[in-house]
Amino acid sequence: MPASANPMVPSDLDAWLSANDRRIHEELFEFLRIPSVSARSEHNSDVAHAARWLHQKLAAIGFSVETIPTAGHPVVLGEWRKAPEGAPTILVYGHYDVQPPEPLELWASPAFEPTIRDGKLFARGSVDDKGQLWIHVKALEAHLATRGTLPVNVIVVAEGEEEIGSEHLGPFVDQHAKRLAADVVIISDSAMFAPGIPSILSSLRGLAYFEINVQGPSSDLHSGSYGGAVVNPAMALARILATFHDADGRVAIPGFYDAVRPFPNAVIDGMRTLPFDDAAFMHEVGVASLGAFRSKRARTGRRKVAQESGATLAHHVRRSELVEVVLAKIAWKNQVHQLIEQLGDATLRGQRRVFVVVDVAVVREHRVAAEASRFPSIRLEGGIGMNALTQV
């Protein structure tokens, strides 16, 4: 067979996808034009339209499809069960509902009119989750169209309430548990690490929420007369919330991590090879600093410096005859002392050892590595998303 234009895709599939590329995009645009906003009752007919549309597309590629009503929006259930005996079953989960488009004034093009700018597709639902779900549907179609079969059984579950908490998905799963039984579940609602870097995303942060009511005085009080003597409920609530995490950003609730499995070393090593850039990430999300974390080396007790949390200080170099210290992303002065104490050094008390705590952006912007090379007592170490200069 001729070599595939994309070496990561078998040539027959690559040829089919290339030949059908325009149609695949046009169909995705149709999907994205449906304003299936599950949170708004005025869009109930649009949500139902999206379910019918997806039902028809799955049926067209050879799936057995049923749209199953719930107490809310329906679930589209597609099945292909013609794999050889003993083949595993894969369940693909996604959702066809989307978030409301407001604030409309922040859109450069209409939210439900797909637009391509600079090679990127802009529309509500293009990345959450119609785009990802459509990729799976088209991948399945490509296999069936070129090879006539699949090596595994496949179940596609697409709900219409993900954006409002999936209230009725649990009862649906309980009711159809045997029908949904699978060896592997693929969540078609995540992202690649970067263009050109296929990714298997094995975990996401979950969600747990509850309501806390803090009772204060029976009426408004003047802070000049009552401040200090009467606790402000807002301040009390802030203190309560602050106890949920420690200074390193870890959840402080006892037992929270008891059942958490650590990443294998191979996974950690793989993460370190990813081309992550702190400065580019902060620019993308519009923040001046990142949250707290410690490198795996620090967690295992080795004497390495990890990036600390907190507000970003200006790049600061303090020079004297006895000490050189470069600090970045340190929230409070006592964190510096804690850092030095943890490493068993008395840098701030006059010894000549040098510790430099920086992130990638600081290294690049201020040429910290070149500055550090002047001192024989330090060396440059690499970590996940950061660099650190540690004691020799």
Strands (E) across the chain are located at 64-68, 75-80, 89-95, 115-117, 120-122, 153-159, 184-187, 316-319, 324-327, 355-359, 378-383, 386-391
Residues recognised as catalytic:
97, 162
Q: Which single residue is written with the structure tokens 């595939």?
A: 4
Distance CA 346, CA 263 (A): 34
The closest alpha carbon to 296, from 316, 337, 267, 320, belongs to: 267
Distance CA 308, CA 172 (A): 44
For the beta carbon of residue 340, count every other beta carbon within 10 angstroms. 19
Helix axes 130-147 and 11-19, enclosed angle (nearest 10)? 120
The closest alpha carbon to 391, from 350, 354, 362, belongs to: 354
Q: Which single residue is written with the structure tokens 């999206």?
A: 50
Task: Tell me the pairing of strands 89-95 and 184-187.
Answer: parallel
Say if CB 137 and CB 158 are below 8 A apart: no
Token pair in block for residue 14? 């690559």
Say if CB 350 and CB 322 are below 8 A apart: yes
Distance CA 380, CA 369 (A): 7
Distance CA 150, CA 274 (A): 32
Q: What is the DSSP string of 317-351?
A: EEE-SS-EEEE-S--SHHHHHHHHHHTT--GGGT-
Distance CA 284, CA 167 (A): 32
Say if CB 130 and CB 24 are below 8 A apart: no
